[in-house]
Amino acid sequence: MVSLTVVAVAVAAAVLVAVGAAAAAAGKFDDVVGPSWANDHVVYEGDLLKLRLDSSSGGGFASKNKFLYGKASADLKLVPGDSAGVVTAFYLSSAGDKHNEFDFEFLGNVTGEPYLVQTNLYIDGVGNREQRIDLWFDPTADFHTYAVLWNPSQVVFLVDDTPIRVYENKNATATATATTKGHHRHANGTNATAPSVPPFPSPQPMAVYSSIWNADDWATQGGRVKTDWSHAPFVATFRDVRVEGCAWAGNATDSDASEVARCTGSSWGKEGRYWWKEKDMEELTVHQSHQLVWARAHHLVYDYCVDTDRFPVQPPECAGR
């Protein structure tokens, strides 16, 4: 729907907060992320990082490193009260016109009505894989953890450790090569190299981003409800942002083959154990599978896989839904 990568406009500006508190909070986030868009709308307050939207601008931050495979998490409390028209996003993205991107987009609503959480994946520059859920809690009342796990076998979107979406690598050749898996991936049933194999994000390093912006042309109740600027500023609050992954060498290009090999092949590096691509991370546990079924049964409100108006021919990754 909306490409999030277009928001990366660097604006230098004064930070309008108490210097002592800002230094403490910035220190905690500083290792991982820094302001990347409208720096004066990225506010450090105590132990918290706040993204502000007002009629002049939204704001955003980006991770300092890029990663190939790993897990990125945010402890986030969404804009309370009237947040109609306001979108807060937490996402991973690589660069270039064949980029990959894994999105959480939190679609605000009028006071008392539920947020929707939209997830999407771009693979080789192509998105249009939206799913939407509502939540089993009020995301404006307290902090909750939103995370993306990414390895050669799967991309998993998690809310408080409950998987809400899984995108699997159905390419038995690729997963067998990368992870020595393949035992249960139709080893001899289907044709692993046939063109109908669903696409899976190629190994491009990704940065982690968050931003808040005005999207009242589409976000809330299909765009019918507009942002009420008399309720600005709209503030999304982060308590923590964590990234555990194989950190891309600062001097390497995004297509550096030795970095791909290192992050794909190694099981240990300067970041510690590459737990995110160990055997037990190649698919959901039985418990997680049950959680996913529960989340989809009770909270899924939109799935592109079954939207035959948009996709008369079902996308290949949706087979069996």
Residues that bind ligand NAG in the complex, under the rule CB under 6 A: 107, 109, 113-114, 116, 171, 173-174, 177, 188-189, 191, 194, 197, 220-221, 249, 251-252, 256
What secondary structure letter does DSSP report for 125? T
What is the end-to-end Cα distance of the chain in Å, rounded?
22
For 288, the token pair is 């997680």
Active site residue 101: yes
Closer residue to ligand NAG in complex, CB, 61/277: 277
Closer residue to ligand NAG in complex, CB, 188/308: 188
Closer residue to ligand NAG in complex, CB, 55/191: 191
Q: Which amino acid is at 227?
A: T
CB of 56 to ligand NAG, least distance (A): 24
Stated as kind and residue range, the H or E segment containing 208 is strand 207-214
What secondary structure letter does DSSP report for 191? -
Query: Looking at 101, 130, 244, 259, which residue is catalytic?
Result: 101
CB of 282 to ligand NAG, least distance (A): 15
Closer residue to ligand NAG in complex, CB, 40/218: 218
CB of 6 to ligand NAG, least distance (A): 21
CB of 238 to ligand NAG, least distance (A): 21
- Other Cβ atoms within 10 Å of 189 Cβ, number: 8
Query: Looking at 105, 130, 259, 282, which residue is catalytic?
Result: 105
For 54, the token pair is 């007002």
CB of 210 to ligand NAG, least distance (A): 18
How far, in Å, CA of 305 to CA of 291, rounded?
20
Q: Which amino acid is at 64?
A: K
How far, in Å, CA of 131 to CA of 321, rounded?
13
Residues 278, 267 contacting (CB under 8 angstroms): yes
Active site residue 130: no
How far, in Å, CA of 144 to CA of 62, rounded?
20
Closer residue to ligand NAG in complex, CB, 11/257: 257
Peptide bond into 80 cis (omega under 30): no
| Active-site residue set | 101, 105
